Chains A and B, each alone.
Chain A
Amino acid sequence: MLLDNILTLTIFLPMAGVVALFFIGKEKSDTIKYVGIGTTMLTFAVSMVLWLKFDSTTSAFQFARQVPWIRALNISYSVGIDGMSLLLILLTTFLTPLALLGTWNSIQHRLREYTMMILLLEVGMVGVFAALDLFLFYVFWEAMLIPMYFIIGIWGGQDRIYAAVKFFLYTLGGSLLMLVAILTLGYLSSTMQGGRFTMNLVDLYRVGPSLAMHVQTWLFLAFALSFAIKVPLFPLHTWLPDAHVQAPTAGSVILAGVLLKMGTYGFIRFCLPLFPDAAIRLAPWMSLLAVVGIVYGALVAMVQTDMKKLVAYSSVSHLGFVVLGIFAMTEEGIQGAMIQMVNHGLSTGALFLLVGFVYDRTHTRLISEYGGIVKPMPVYAAALLFMSLSSIGLPGLNGFVGEFLVLLGAFKSKILDTYAFAGIAALGVIFSAVYLLWMYQRVVFGPMRAGGLYGGHHLADINRRERWSLVPIAIFIVWIGVYPSLFLTKSAPVAKRIVEQIDAVKRGAVPRYTMAPAPARRMAPARHPARLAAERAGESERLP
């Protein structure tokens, strides 16, 4: 019984923390923190059950539950996970407690509400990765926006309102079109033979690929816009630097670590399997944007003066790799993209934590305000180097595995059919070293400013709590870098399934559903060719 609902438990467990927080006085800040950490750690423990019980031989959705919700529209509460969702859910439940731990003393006012928001955010994030009903997915997708909006808008920096509104409008603008596309897809399903209006993803997996190219293309674009904003894909990225710089540290960690992956997750979960023809057709264009993002993000990151902005732009570059891998549509590319989502969550999450640690001490993030901090903070310097190297993609650490698979996938890809994408993307290898090591040089080495005194405070090295928020991340960084099979075997069936589907579509093995020419003015539901044929044969009464 419990095991049947373990996924639902993972999703909603943080809510229990929210409820508990209602009954805790807002002045008891320590209790609030313990409730926050405790709930998220418990959620992680529960999600570990998913990991342990997961069957990595199948690409089917596991731990699936379906409960009718809005019967009239055939909408149900339907959840289930495959290898990709598993990795991302684990990443979410893993990073959230670490983000809270790493920013223990960073939030001074309205701590209770802040903790609630983080917990609500977790519900939304895990829900997005688990939902198998498009309507439910949309609800989680939008629900998650609200706590993030408040986290930036209330606990953010100087220009937090501007950043929060920009974040909100950007994301909402995209997702409204997605809603239209979702409803259209459900409606198109009802026009098919024996069809009904449905939001069930597994059912729609059969509907989408049979749609005509132009229909697929429009729907693909509507979904893709929403996901591209979230990723963010060049040139839709400008909300990201503002949101990151203004968000409190934990917000940045979760934003970079998990939220951005929802875009790339969406591409793999929806865009590719629902609209394969359109995806194949548009793959070169998506890859082009990805590759431009890789180089552009890296170059712009290089010239940033604010550490957080630098890391934010580096995300644009790194996520470009993920998108490139996805639209290479090869096993290497998609496997690389999926592991790279996890990698980016770990290394960039850690980098944001590290920037947060010095910000807590000095209240500045300007690179020029730092220098020579290796003397007072040697452990910090080592940690920053380690995380930077992970982000640079040094072989032996996690980033390399993902980047290499992506590049290989893009190189092999018959759909992209040119080495140019991978070749240009590989330049990112050079630039990532440039921007991170240059920042490292200016912040950590060189002359020390004011003898290590900032605002009258001596710079203390990172303390035990801060160290322990990094150690688990470091362990996984090495683990994935040295022995990635444990993770890649989980996502392998997903990659295999998607590539097989794409190949089948390319061979033309999927029945095509064409829209009937619309009779004057009124849009008529088009008919399935099989049904038309059946009607002609006078057998229509046998079909429902």
Chain B
Amino acid sequence: MITFAPLLVLFPLLGFLFNGVFGWKIKNEKLLGIVGSGSVGLSFILASVIFVQMLGVEESARKQSVEVFTWVSTFTGSSSSFSASVAYQIDQLSILMALIVTGVGFLIHVYSIGYMRGDPGFWRFFAYLNLFIFAMLNLVLADNFLLMFLGWEGVGLCSYLLIGFWYDRKFDIGGEEAGSTYTGHAGMKAFIVNRIGDFGFLMGMLLIFVTFGSLRYDSVFSNATIMSVGTPVLTWITLFLFVGATGKSAQIPLHVWLPDAMAGPTPVSALIHAATMVTAGVYMVARCSILFALAPTSMLVVAIIGALTAFCAATIGLVQNDIKKVLAYSTVSQLGYMFLAMGVAAFSAGIFHLMTHAFFKALLFLGSGAVIHAMHEEQDIQKMGGLKKYLPITHKTFVAGALALAGFPLLSGFFSKDEILWNAFIGEHGSPLLWLIGATAAAFTAFYSFRLVTLTFDGKERFDHHHLHPHEAPATMYVPLVILAVLSVVGGLVGIPHVSQLEHWLDPVFDPAKIKLMQTEHEGFGLELLFMVVSGTIALAGIWAARKVYLERPEVAEQYASRFKKLYRLLWNKYFVDEGYNAVAVRPIVKGSDFLLWKGFDVAVIDGALDGSAAFVNKIASVLRKIQTGVAQSYATAIVGGILFVLTWIVLR
């Protein structure tokens, strides 16, 4: 079956080529949509078949790889010189990722057929989406870092293209400097911030090659296992790789692009900026678990950044009014949880949360898309309210997603988040402080998700009835919502600690790291159960508070906003991070390059010196040419004078 693995990648590529090359001529949206989603569907089926086959074989036979061709190499034949192939590796982790990417991806493709109906760029949209799936599958299925990097940058490109998809539209950048700018700016920002991360990835990759002599996972990881914990080069490698992860997965300090990325069409936000691409950083850290396990410092950094991001993004989410912005900060925050999991060596838990988050966050985004669709592009939740009457299916599914996000007991998000928090308390580098930060953020999460639900679907209708007649979306849109809602509710069952199989499914991938960490199974099932109860209580409290405030006493929110004016302003302005970057980095670099380097050095110094020396020669020449008068007598005088001078010199010497 492994021999068919390259087909997983090929189907979406063919879909991209078809829609990209012929799409502009084809006016038939149905055909474009079927090709677009069908190619992803085929990949999903194939991934499922491979997955089922893997279940049938014993654990050691589940990891296989297949090489397609040599990609980048020196081709000099020297043994020590570089070579990397287009080669795919199927193992427990990569097939799980492939299932998530193609499964959720397929649903979102189907949804998009309805959502993008009538858009002049319909073909372009599906071409980009297919290209994205192609790149994303390369990212997760690659058997070496270089091919992963191809996927890594490829998804970044698709993100850029899709954020700026409606290039003639403007979007609100939010905060106090609220103004609007073209969507292309958001795309550019995303690409450039990601490139800063990619610089880290690149450096990490180069260091890996000089250290291990290869970029293949197999040889790198097996060579790493014989190294000792705390080897400096491993710390550098993992820190650089983590810089890459912060870029792609929008962690502090490179999180600034993701909220702006909401300028793209909503299915894009669901697929790329919630369910799949932004989790690439988590996947990468999980993939390199053995390297991180050998670098305790890096683990600690990952855990701290993760916890801080989870917390800060959740606080920002409390006050935003744009339905997609709330979800965007929520995504940043949830990704923070995943990194927290990685940092405390709870790799399976992190991947588990990655999966459940893909379900419920895709659901929430698609639901918000249905709302925005119904509201004719209105995204401000203060101008909504009471929509459950008009959008019953959307409402129910949205609530299911919000409950899962909030960590409502027994839904998918509850199990995965609880496991992370439990590990943050007791795992490697775990501490009560990390747990406290995570738990507080969990309370905020529950609060903002139900603030969002309540303001959107309940209470008074705050929109203009004369112009708006909200209506339920077509079947292509609500069927994916229902499927995702089911997954959000029951998806957690695969990963219940001590009961289900997911943890053990992934064990072979993370065992080398766990052995290095000498992690023992934590005793104290009772304590773990207690933590579960606490998590559940926190979630319920947050949900209750949000319902109470926004359903019954909306004035309380405003009172608090005015009482804690400074804090509110800080959150409303997203901690002024963008403004800070502009003042500290962007403007100085641009101005410096303009005035110091270009106009200062290039034009003034170098060309100044050149033109100056030219002018100097000119000047001398204009003096010297006066000697050349053309008068024979003066020449004769000069000759005689010269002869006399030379004779005198010879005689007197």
- C-beta contact mask, A381-396 vs B, less than 8 Å → 1, else 0? 0000000010000111
Q: Which of B72, B192, B607 contacts A437 (CB 8 A)?
A: B192
Q: In whole angstroms, how far apart are the Cα atoms of A31 and B508 in the complex? A: 71
Is residue B69 contacting chain A, with contact meaning CB distance below 8 A? yes
B150 on interface, CB distance cutoff 8 Å: yes
Distance, CA A411 to CA B202, complexed state (A): 11
A144 to chain B, nearest CB (A): 22
- Annotate B308-323 by CB proximity to A: 1 below 8 A, 0 otherwise: 0000000000000000
Q: Kindly provide the distance from the CB of B142 to the nearest chain A CB, expressed in whole angstroms.
A: 11
Residue from the list A303, A430, A445 in contact with B196, Cβ < 8 A: A430
* B610 and A238 form a contact (CB under 8 A): yes
Question: CB distance B69 to A405 under 8 Å?
Answer: no
- Bound form: Cα–Cα A405–B602 in Å: 30
Answer yes or no: A423 CB below 8 A from chain B CBs: yes
Are A429 and B202 within 8 A (Cβ)?
yes
Q: Within the complex, what minimum Cβ distance (angstroms) separates A146 from chain B?
A: 21
CA distance A484 to B83 in the complex (A): 12
When C-beta atoms are compared, the residue in chain B nearest to A488 turns out to be B75
Complex contact A446–B149 (CB within 8 A): no
Q: Residues of B contacting A166 with CB < 8 Å?
A: 610
B154: CB under 8 A from chain A? yes
* CB closest chain-A residue, reference B148: A395
Task: Tell me the bound Cα distance from A94 to B167 in angstroms.
Answer: 35
- B606 contacts partner chain A, Cβ-Cβ < 8 Å: yes
B598 touches A300 (CB 8 A): yes
- Bitwise interface map of B from 183 to 215 toward A, beta carbon under 8 Å scored 1, else 0: 011001001100110110011001101100000
Interface 9-residue window, one of A7-15, A99-107, A489-497: A489-497
A544–B635 Cα distance when bound, in Å, is: 54
Residue among A296, A303, A335 making CB contact with B74, cutoff 8 Å: A335
Chain A window 235-254, contacts with chain B (Cβ cutoff 8 Å), 1 for yes, 0 for no: 10010010000000000000
Q: Which residue of A lies closest to B135 (CB)?
A: A396
Choose from B149, B152, B199, B210 the contact partner of A411 (Cβ within 8 Å).
B210
Per-position contact with B for A250-270: 1 when CB-CB < 8 Å, else 0? 000000000000000000000
Given A303-B594, A407-B202, A429-B202: A496 and B154 within 8 A (CB)?
Answer: no
Residues of B within 8 A of A493 (CB): 76
A300 near B597: Cβ-Cβ < 8 Å: yes
Q: Which of B184, B185, B202, B209 contacts A426 (CB 8 A)?
A: B202
* CB of B252 to closest CB in A, whole Å: 19
Give Cα distance in the complex from A482 to B209, angstroms: 21
| B82 located at the interface, meaning its Cβ lies under 8 Å from any Cβ of chain A in the complex | yes
Asked if A26 lies at the interface with its beta carbon under 8 angstroms from chain B, I say no
A370-386 interface bits toward B, Cβ cutoff 8 Å, 1 = contact, 0 = none: 00101100000000000
Q: Could you tell me which residues of chain A, from 336 to 387, have a CB within 8 Å of some CB in chain B?
A: 372, 374-375
**Chain A: minimal CB distance from B220 (Å):** 15
Output the least CB separation between B312 and chain A (Å).
Answer: 25
Determine if A122 is an interface residue (Cβ-Cβ < 8 Å): no
Cα separation A331 to B325 with both chains bound (whole Å):
49
Is A438 an interface position by the 8 A CB rule?
yes
Say yes or no: is A427 at the interface (Cβ < 8 Å to chain B). yes
CB-based contact A441/B188 at 8 Å: yes
- Is B74 within 8 A of A238, CB to CB? no
Q: How far is the CB of A449 from chain B (nearest CB, A)?
A: 14
A212 at the interface (CB under 8 A from B): no
Q: Is the CB of B182 within 8 A of A446?
A: yes
Task: Given A389-B157, A429-B195, A429-B202, decide whether A300 and B593 contact each other with a Cβ distance below 8 A.
Answer: yes
Residues of chain B within 8 A (CB-CB) of A143 are: none
Taking the closest CB of chain A, its distance from the CB of B131, in whole angstroms, is 10
Q: Is the CB of A299 within 8 A of B593?
A: yes
Partner of A405, one of B74, B168, B597: B74
How far is it, in angstroms, between the C-alpha of A445 and the C-alpha of B160 when the chains are bound? 13
Whole-angstrom distance between the alpha carbons of A332 and B164 in the complex? 37
CA A374 – CA B593 in complex, angstroms? Answer: 29
A323: Cβ under 8 A from any B Cβ: no
CB-nearest residue of chain A to B594: A303
**Residues from chain B with Cβ under 8 Å of A404 in the complex:** 72, 146, 202
Q: Select from chain A the residue with minimum beta-carbon distance to B70.
A: A485
* B628 at the binding interface (Cβ < 8 Å): no
CB distance from B450 to the nearest CB of A (A): 38
User: Separation in Å of the B264 CB from the closest CB of chain A?
Assistant: 14
Q: Are A372 and B168 in contact (CB under 8 A)?
A: yes
For A488, the chain B residues whose CB sits under 8 A away are 73-75
Interface residue A119 (Cβ < 8 Å from any Cβ of B): no
A434 within 8 A of B: yes
Task: Report chain B residues within 8 Å CB of A484.
Answer: 71-72
Within 8 A of A (CB), among B571-610: 589-590, 592-594, 597-598, 602, 606-607, 610
Q: From known contacts A394-B157, A405-B72, infer whether A445 and B199 are also in contact, taking CB-CB under 8 Å.
A: no
Assess whether A288 is interfacial by the CB under 8 Å rule: no
Chain B residues within 8 Å of chain A by Cβ, number: 50
* C-alpha spacing A430/B598, complex, angstroms: 19
Contact check: which of B154, B209, B610 meets A408 at CB < 8 Å?
B209
A296 proximity list for chain B (CB < 8 A): 597
* A483 on interface, CB distance cutoff 8 Å: yes
A513 to B600, CA, bound (A): 46
- Please encode chain A, from 403 to 418, with 1 for each CB lying within 8 Å of some chain B CB and 0 for all others: 0110110011000000
Residues in A whose Cβ lies below 8 Å from that of B198: 429-430
Taking a contact as CB atoms closer than 8 A, the residue among B157, B160, B207, B606 that contacts A238 in the complex is B606
- Min CB distance B161 to A, Å, is 8
A441 proximity list for chain B (CB < 8 A): 182, 184-185, 188
For residue A422, CB closer than 8 A to chain B, the reply is yes
Complex: A407 Cα to B150 Cα, angstroms: 16
Residue of A nearest to B614 (CB): A169
Query: 1/0 per residue B208-227: CB within 8 Å of A?
Result: 01100000000000000000
B77 lies within 8 A of chain A by Cβ: yes
Q: Which of B77, B160, B203, B593 has the most CB of A within 10 A?
A: B593
Q: Contacts A427-B199, A429-B199: A299 and B597 contacting too (C-beta < 8 A)?
A: yes
Cβ contact within 8 Å between A412 and B188 = no
Q: Would you call B589 and A426 a contact (CB within 8 A)?
A: no
Query: How distant is the Cα of A404 from the Cα of B147 in the complex, in angstroms?
Result: 12
By beta carbon, the residue of chain B nearest A396 is: B150
Inter-chain CA distance A379–B149, complex, in Å, is 28
- Counting chain A CB atoms within 10 Å of each CB, the highest count among B152, B184, B209 belongs to B184
| B78 contacts partner chain A, Cβ-Cβ < 8 Å | yes
**Contact A331:B167 (CB < 8 A) given known A303-B594, A395-B154, A396-B150:** no
Query: Within the complex, which residue of A422, A485, A489 is in contact with B206, where a contact is CB–CB below 8 Å?
Result: A422
Q: Which residues of A contact B149 (CB under 8 A)?
A: 395
* Residues on A with beta carbons closer than 8 Å to the beta carbon of B77: 492, 496
Query: Looking at the complex, which one of A302, A445, A485, A496 makes contact with B593 (CB distance below 8 Å)?
Result: A302
Residues of B with C-beta under 8 A to A492: 74-77
The smallest C-beta distance from A500 to any residue of chain B, in angstroms, reads 10
Contact A433–B195 (Cβ < 8 Å): yes
Contact A374 B74, beta carbon cutoff 8 Å: no
B203 with A445: CB separation less than 8 A: no
The interface centre, meaning the residue of A235, A304, A396 with most chain B CB atoms within 10 A of its CB, is A396
Q: Is B428 located at the chain interface by the 8 A CB criterion? A: no
On whether the beta carbons of B593 and A430 are closer than 8 Å, the reply is no
A408 and B82 within 8 A (CB): yes
Q: Complex formed: what's the CA distance from A423 to B199 in Å?
A: 9
For the complex of A and B, list the 6 residue pairs with the smallest distance between their C-beta atoms, beginning with the closest: A445-B184, A299-B593, A303-B594, A395-B150, A492-B75, A433-B195
- Between A and B, 7 residue pairs with Cβ closer than 8 Å are A303-B598, A395-B149, A405-B72, A419-B207, A440-B188, A445-B168, A492-B75
12 other A-B residue contacts (CB within 8 Å) besides A302-B593, A404-B72, A488-B75: A238-B602, A302-B590, A304-B598, A330-B81, A331-B81, A335-B76, A408-B206, A419-B206, A446-B182, A482-B71, A483-B69, A485-B69
- Residues of A near any B CB (own CB < 8 A): 166, 235, 238, 241, 296, 299-300, 302-304, 330-332, 335, 372, 374-375, 389, 394-396, 400-401, 404-405, 407-408, 411-412, 419, 422-423, 426-427, 429-430, 433-434, 437-438, 440-441, 444-447, 482-485, 488-489, 492-493, 495-496
